Structures are given as C-alpha cells and as structure tokens.
Amino acid sequence: MSQAGKLARAAVGVLACAFLVAPAAGQQATFMTGPQGGSWIPLGGALKGLWEKEIPGLQIQQTPGAGIANVRGVDEGKAQIGIANSATTVDGFEGRAPYPKKVTQVCQVANLYPQYFQVVALADAGVGSFADLKGKSLVTQPKGNTGEILTAIVLQLNGLSYQSLAKANFQAGYTDAVSLVKDGHAQVFTLGTTAPASAVMDLASARDIRLVPVDDKTMAALKKMNPGYNRLVIKAGTYPKQDKDVPVIGYSTHIVVRCDLPEETVYRMTKVMAEHVSDMAAVVKAISGVTAKDMAIDIGVPFHKGAARYYKEVGAL
C-alpha cells in the first residue's frame, strides 16, 4: 500500500475512534414539541437545555408540533426527536387513522408522565358506567383529537356510537366544554389530560360531578386493540366530593426519536432524563417521582437501542 493510502486509512481509523468517543460532536437535531400554550413547549425547552449541556456537540432546534404530527414528522425525517402520546403513537405503528400509512422509523425513548382519560358526568345524570352514556348529551374535543378518538372507541366497545347519544358536542377549548355542562346543555364531559385537571376542578366548583370508572371488559378490549393504553387510578380526594379511587383509561406522554439516531446519543439522552427528573418536574409537575423503571414501561413501541442499553444497564428493563 502506498504511503498516501496508509495515511488515508489511519485518518479513517482516527475519525472512527472519535465518533465512538463523541458521537454527538457537531450533531444537529430538530425536536418537535407541542402547540402554543401547552406544557410540551416549556418541557421541550427544558430537555433541550439539559441535553445540550450534558451531551457535548449536540445542538437541538426546537419547533412547535402536536402528538400525531410529531410522530409523522420523526417518521418522515422532518425531525429527529418528538414528544407524543403513547396510544396514538401505537396507532401510527398499526397504520390506523388519522395516519395515512404505518410509521416505521420511530423508536421509543422514555415515558414521562401519565395522561388520564376522564369521563366526567353530572351527579344527577344517572351515569355510573360507560353503558349508561346511551341517550345522554356529551361534549368532547374536536374530531381527531386523542380525547375524542378515545371517546368514540369507548362508545363502540360498549355497543354505542355518537348516534346513540341525545347529542354530541365537539369543542376546541375545555373552557367552552365546561360551560356547556355548567349550563345544562351537556351531561357528560370527556377529556384526556393530567389529574387533577383544572377544567374538571372548574366544573366541580359549580356542579356536583362523578367520575365514571372504566370496567374490566372495556379495559381488556382496549388494551388488546392498542397496548399504548393502560389502567390508571385517580385517587380519592383528587376532586371535590370524590370519596373513592376511580380506575380510568390512561396513556403516557413520551419521547420518541428516529431509529437511525446514533445509539450513543440516545443512550446519553435517556441517561440525562433519568438523572434530571427534578429539572423536568419543575416544568411539568406530573413528572415528579418518575423512575427509570417508569420510563422503561413497554407501551407497544420498540425501544431505540440506545435507550434499551441504558435501561438494561440500570436494571429497569
């Protein structure tokens, strides 16, 4: 081999070693977060700051987004990192609406905090189970929103539909939805968010309410359909006059990345999140107390090799 050839091979070897030592050096990534006014934008800002500080050379451009749009953005290569909802991410893997096709380039990194699907009925509406929704007036979010999609599925699993109701209202804002129930134009309000939810607290300040529990049959059918859903419990006392624990359908706000993002980079990202839970919780209180084991719960989305490596290392997977 010529002297020039030997030098070229040596240079390649040096570069390869440098990549192994600092894979994020000079690496840029687009991070899709949430809509204006939501918690995902400040959470994204906190994560950007932590990752850039702790992972030398990594530069992140944060951009607004939304759960389903973020999954599509990562899958299509418009972004490398995204915040999403576990259940609708699973829908993407199955190619279910509103996704136009199956997503194939999205990998799981970490669950961060639970979202609770809450079916809130006026206390005098006679709604003790999902089956009791028949003939009642209901308000939920606009069609295609995670909360609305879940409302339609719950109705279907109980042999009902929007047509089985006295009326179905679709409101963009929680404030307008609460007003409809306060004024007696709707008897039931469904939403997917943290608990306690300020909108539900607002409603409870004006009307007596009850949370409708998820039954075992509905939960089992839903879990079989989509492993991104889990049973969660809203503890007694979360809302006024709530005297017992109420089981509800839950899903997770989680972090996803493109599967081709370097393993070492994602390993470090995962490690940073696990070691800085308090910094994330300072932005989103619901993250308080999250452990590596919580972050590693299987939600039906394949783990990125870097994330899996970290969780195995600390005994969380």
Would you say residue 8 lies in a domain?
A: no
Convert the pLDDT of each residue in 77-94 to its tens digit: 999 999 998 888 999 999
| Domain boundaries, position 44 | 27-113+253-313
CB atoms within 10 A of CB 69: 18
Residue 133 pLDDT class (50, 70, 90 cuts): very high
Tokens read off for 50 = 């932590």
**Helical ranges in 38-157 per DSSP H:** 40-54, 67-75, 86-94, 146-157
Across the chain, mean pLDDT equals 89
pLDDT at residue number 199: 87
CB atoms within 10 A of CB 314: 15
Would you say residue 20 lies in a domain?
A: no
Q: Which amino acid is at 30?
A: T
pLDDT at residue number 119: 98
Q: How many domains does the chain have?
A: 2
Q: Among candidates 88, 70, 76, which has minimal Cα distance to 34?
A: 70
Same domain, 199 and 216: yes
> Per mean pLDDT, which range of 22-31, 120-129, 164-173, 217-226 is the poorest?
22-31
Same domain, 124 and 246: yes
Q: How far is CA 268 from the centre of its chain?
A: 21
The set of residues, in sequence order, having a beta carbon less than 8 Å from that of 265 and lying 6+ positions away, is: 23, 24, 27, 55, 58, 306
CA-to-CA dists, residue 222 to 215, 230, 246, angstroms: 11, 9, 18
Of 251, 270, 298, the residue that ends a domain is: 251
Mean pLDDT of 243-266: 96
Same domain, 131 and 221: yes
Tokens read off for 95 = 């190619």
Same domain, 105 and 227: no
139: which strand partners? 169, 189
pLDDT at residue number 5: 46
pLDDT at residue number 1: 52
Would you say residue 98 lies in a domain?
A: yes
Task: For residue 272, give the CATH number of its domain.
Answer: 3.40.190.10
**Percent of the chain at pLDDT exceeding 90:** 69
Convert the pLDDT of each residue in 21-48 to its tens digit: 444 447 899 999 987 667 888 999 999 9
Cα-based torsion angle of the residue sequence 141, 188, 222, 296 in order, rounded to the nearest 10 degrees: 70
Query: How many angstroms separate the CA atoms of 301 and 316, rounded?
Result: 16
Would you say residue 16 lies in a domain?
A: no
Query: How many angstroms separate the CA atoms of 174 and 148, rounded?
Result: 12
Same domain, 242 and 257: no
Would you say residue 70 lies in a domain?
A: yes
Query: How many angstroms separate the CA atoms of 34 and 69, rounded?
Result: 9
Same domain, 184 and 156: yes
Put simply, whether the predicted model's pTM sits higher than 0.85 gets the answer no
pLDDT at residue number 30: 97
Would you say residue 18 lies in a domain?
A: no
Same domain, 94 and 185: no
Would you say residue 161 lies in a domain?
A: yes
pLDDT at residue number 36: 66
Same domain, 229 and 266: no
Same domain, 95 and 206: no
Residue 141 pLDDT class (50, 70, 90 cuts): confident
Same domain, 145 and 234: yes
Helix or strand holding residue 282 (H, E) = none
Of 233, 251, 269, the residue that ends a domain is: 251
CB of 297 closer than 8 Å to CB of 113:
no
Maximum C-alpha span of the chain:
89
Same domain, 40 and 108: yes
pLDDT at residue 7 tops 90: no
Would you say residue 169 lies in a domain?
A: yes
Of 199, 225, 251, the residue that ends a domain is: 251
Same domain, 159 and 204: yes
